[in-house]
């Protein structure tokens, strides 16, 4: 089973949006997918409750209540929506459950500073230092050609982890979420710009370098 975790100790950075779209993408590709929600707000579980029956199935795991005990045995890809404000032993325990970790960062000075502290702590964990877990960052909810995005772009380029690019602030994410869909299930004429921005992220997720050795 492949474990993909979306995490950042800073709340409100779009973890659930990215986690649901990753789960949706792999489900559309024909994989048996489960989505585990550790966040007490249960946003990913709410999304699954809205998911139409005629779309590819994604198993719901209420990790905030029961951990990962109810993950179906035939799951090929488990996407984990980690809680905010995760540090210390709790962070270490979560990272033990993942081989692939994606960190979304918003274009704001507060988020950049918080993410710097979070990534510094994350990179010190034993599993990460042993290269048993792969980490990458993605800029989220950006508006291109703005000074704050330029600042975020330069900041992420200097990190010691792969920077996969930027996802724009788009109403397509809200439109899809409200229907229990991912952006890859929206019409091509509507979501094509977003699909293009996801290409580097998807390529990294599917690469051997983002999977366990």
pLDDT-derived band at 213 (thresholds 50, 70, 90) equals: very low
Measuring CA to CA, which residue among 76, 79, 210 is closest to residue 132?
210
The tokens for 65 are 């209540």
Residue 67: partners with Cβ closer than 8 Å, 6 or more residues away: none
Convert the pLDDT of each residue in 61-117 to its tens digit.
999 999 999 999 999 999 999 998 787 888 888 898 899 999 999 999 999 999 999
Mean pLDDT, residues 181-200 taken together: 97
Sequence ranges of the domains in the chain: 2-201
User: Are 39 and 18 spatial neighbours (Cβ–Cβ below 8 Å)?
Assistant: no
Cα-to-chain-centroid distance, residue 4: 8
Q: DSSP of 31-43, one letter per residue?
A: --EEEEE-STT-H
Q: Calculate the alpha carbon distances from 112 to 73, 109, 140, 141, 156 in Å.
A: 38, 5, 12, 13, 9
Pick the CATH number of 2-201 from 3.30.565.10, 3.40.50.300, 3.40.605.10, 1.10.3720.10: 3.40.50.300
Which one has a higher pLDDT value, 20 or 84? Answer: 20
């Amino acid at each position: 089973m492949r474990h993909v975790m979306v995490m950042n100790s800073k709340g409100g950075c779009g973890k659930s949006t990215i986690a649901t779209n990753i789960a949706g993408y792999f489900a559309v590709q024909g994989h048996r997918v489960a989505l585990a929600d550790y966040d007490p707000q249960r946003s990913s579980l709410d999304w699954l409750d809205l998911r139409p029956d005629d779309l590819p199935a994604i198993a719901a795991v209420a990790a905030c209540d029961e951990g990962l005990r109810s993950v179906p045995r035939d799951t090929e890809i488990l996407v984990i929506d980690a809680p905010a404000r995760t540090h210390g032993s709790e962070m270490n325990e979560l990272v033990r459950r993942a081989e692939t970790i994606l960190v979304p960062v918003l274009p704001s000075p507060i988020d950049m500073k918080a993410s710097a502290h979070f990534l510094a702590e994350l990179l010190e964990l034993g599993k990460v230092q042993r290269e048993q877990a792969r980490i990458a960052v993605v800029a989220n909810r950006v508006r291109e050609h703005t000074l704050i995005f330029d600042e975020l772009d330069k900041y992420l380029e200097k990190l010691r982890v792969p920077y996969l690019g930027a996802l724009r602030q788009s109403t397509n994410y809200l439109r899809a979420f409200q229907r229990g869909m991912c952006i890859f299930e929206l019409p091509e004429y509507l979501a094509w710009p977003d699909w293009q921005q996801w290409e580097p992220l998807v390529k990294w997720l599917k690469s051997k370098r983002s999977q366990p050795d």
